[in-house]
Structure 1
């Protein structure tokens, strides 16, 4: 996992916690949930890319 992906995951967690405090159907809650999901996906992609790059050097 890269430092950038860790930062993205932490931001996603903050967004998710904020979203939980808002009522269902609230526009801000929907945006926060969407952004949290996008950040998790981006972090996952970065981690996968880092693993692929590292595997090139370990073979």
Structure 2
């Protein structure tokens, strides 16, 4: 019975760590998708590309 009591907390800790890891990775994934969504809606990528082309044209690189 002593052995069982010692083993169970370790298993619970492992499960808790896995659940925390899954939740954190899900939150990070959702945040990334949300940020990309917002950036696309604001068309920031398009503006950055336009600006980079503009600067490259000014420098005569293209």
TM category (shorter chain) comes to 0.5 to 0.7
- TM-score relative to the length of structure 1: 0.55
- 1:32 corresponds to: 16
Q: Runs of 5+ in structure 2 lacking a partner?
A: 1-6, 44-62
Q: For residue 50 of structure 1, what is the aligned residue in structure 2?
A: 34
CA RMSD of aligned residues (A): 1.8
Distance 1:53 1:30 in 2: 34
Report which of the two structures shows the higher radius of gyration computed on alpha carbons.
2
TM-score of the superposition, structure 2-length normalised?
0.53
Structure 1 unaligned blocks of 5 or more: 1-22
1:42 Cα deviation after fit: 0.3
Higher relative contact order (CA 8 A, sep 6+): 1
